[in-house]
Structure 1
């Protein structure tokens, strides 16, 4: 039987718990807003235009400018979505040295929002979502690419949106979330070819669930096919323009071999796991703990399959060729859906 004292204590405890949750959510919102502002101020205080150690972001900026001049596909080797986005931004804000990192700061901020939404889909507590956000936003590699003119932030935005969409679709039965996931993987695949390795297990997983479903809705298969529209068009264009559908991969492979030479099988075998460990750091054991603690939650097994399959494809790609590219961006945020083992 509830006494007056127990009712009062429950009321106070509930109010205190609610205030604590609101404080965590407010802190998360402030962290998301502060992320681009602080990095922008820091970058401007340094007076550095291009952050990439190579000239990639310089050339990507030039390609975006070429799009504004009417050359819609300025590169035979890189997918064009980043150039199109920056070209649109240049039309509205014609400052070629500022637009690339402004676009990337916006994309990285969007990726953080997607991770928070992913945490909500997995029913993580407010404190756990704040921890997830903090871990992602403070990874040094994530900060660096957010300030660069490289394509990784847009790539990570697409991948994060893809995993968040899968979590909402499987965990809450939201049909539109499946299309968000498909659009995320499709967009990421138009920025970096690495995203094709994430789209493959996504499409296979959706097709398998469609086959096991009694209703077998056609929209599931359409969503599974969406990430492959651009790859089909790109490979077809490569065939028409250069006579080989994988011309772009052959050229890039030749450049790296000429620069660094072939690598031993032993080095290629440990390249990707070592990169993942060095860049992910403490988030990797947290991801494993989260996977074990949340395994029975809807959507988690599918996301685990997607990540493991994409990493296996990455390893296969590295072992199949006598070189290993610096592939840190590929698995970096792919494991963040399982980062936080919070309630």
Structure 2
């Protein structure tokens, strides 16, 4: 059962982030931004002028009181101790920003927008150092790779996933998710059944920096490995009955959280595939055995997320019937325990404990 953090925001929450000191920030529709204590108490509140949706929030890794927030086409840098005035403000994107990502050295901030562009903001010189334009539709998600401050991955509603190195203005590698989706549709036994297009919604990079995941509208999650200047797909499996809105690797692990438009939150362990060619980024720890989640049949067919054949013999470690479309997922420690924080179509944050992991 989830603990609900309430009393902060009235609009649907769109994004979440947590500081190293367990302070949580949430952004919502209508320009609302909120900070929360680790016990779920609302601490600070503000509303950006113009009432543009707050689509992404990021705490500084070096200064826990500094917060980056995207709202509309703008980026504001805030001090969470006083949210009234911004420390800095940038308007470098031409259309609404969907996602922000900081590199580990915190000198570069990437912002992906509705035009398909990714702007790379040099925070030291306060100017755009790169404008990456290759997505032909909305760029929905971007993520710097840990341990590689000049490298990032992106995905978009053009069904493309890209690997970038900022020393070049063009992507090093591109894959189109439509290709494997078309092959799957041709192999379907039921010719009248159509899959949703593989619009790519979310990317997440594991702490090792070489493994990343992508969630798409076709309900599938794909796991890629970076091999120098190109990538290989290690794994692809049906994770949700509807589109995968969020993917999120837990820190220092190959445990992957996925959230979907079907209202489910699922935890997967992709370590066997990830460790096939490289060592795990953390020491092996004993994990308790978990019960296999139960699923119901829909339209006469067993839910695809439970069949070994469909998802490459990977089974969920945990499945939660959240009940609401997932807008954002965050794995973070609160009071020393690992938790899943979930934002959905409500103004509440749901907190699920992961003590057994």
Task: State the TM-score, normalizing by the size of structure 1.
Answer: 0.26
Q: Which structure ranks higher in relative contact order (CA pairs < 8 Å, sequence separation ≥ 6)?
A: 1
Larger radius of gyration: 1
Higher helix proportion: 1
Task: State the TM-score, normalizing by the size of structure 2.
Answer: 0.25
